[in-house]
Amino acid sequence: MTSQSSSFTIRHASPKDLSHLSDVLTESFYRSTDRQGNFLRRCLTDWVYPLLRYGIMLDLSSRFNENTPCYACLVATHPANEFQAIASLEICMRYVPLKTNHEFWLDRDMHEHPYIFNLAVHPRWRRRGVAKQLLLAAEQTVKQWGFSRLYMHVLEDNQPARSLYDRIGYRLHIQEGAVSYWLLGRPRRFLLQKKF
């Protein structure tokens, strides 16, 4: 599967992409784009960055080698360098509760459904539509697998991501983390669902 728009190519990842994918994920999840942030935290992150990157590479490599039928890692590239991944997402099967927010505590009936995780866009390529293209390509992959629903989590305080997901049709399925929100002030996690 390869889809191309005016600016990005979306394709299935290969083992050759591991190094670039590790960079994208490490930069996205462990490096702060806030240059005014905590200096000590930035220094510590810079120091452990190679270890974090190596761990991510091993984790990705193990998933690539599992040969699971309903697993996919999609990458986005730019025509300027078609061999360098600038964004990615992964899809797997994960157990999710069937009940919505209001019914969640009444019955914990769980079923396996396609689930998006590790959606990451390298900081230099954000706000250009690449995440949207990856999500739409993920929907096509899931349809090819024969499913009509797709799930993902987003943190309550991640407004840019929530806005994007809402625009392309993801809706709140379950709100999680109320206890950690009230006791520790941590943002809640929203389990989103899209039906197609």
Domain of residue 36, CATH code: 3.40.630.30
Segments forming the whole domain that contains residue 121: 2-195
Is the pLDDT at 143 greater than 80? The verdict is yes
Confidence label for 104 from pLDDT (cuts 50, 70 and 90): very low
Q: How many CA atoms lie within 13 A of 105 on its CB side?
A: 4
Residue 22 belongs to what H/E stretch?
helix 18-30
pLDDT digits (tens, 9 = 90+) for 157-196: 999 999 999 999 999 999 986 666 667 778 899 999 999 9
Percent of the chain with pLDDT over 70: 85
Q: Supply the pLDDT for residue 176.
A: 85
* 98 phi and psi angles, rounded to 5 deg: -80, -30
Structural domain tally of the chain? 1
pLDDT digits (tens, 9 = 90+) for 4-48: 555 899 999 999 999 999 999 999 998 765 555 577 777 877 889
Q: Supply the pLDDT for residue 100.
A: 60
Is the pLDDT at 130 greater than 70? The verdict is yes
- Contact between 119 and 131 under an 8 Å Cβ cutoff? The reply is yes
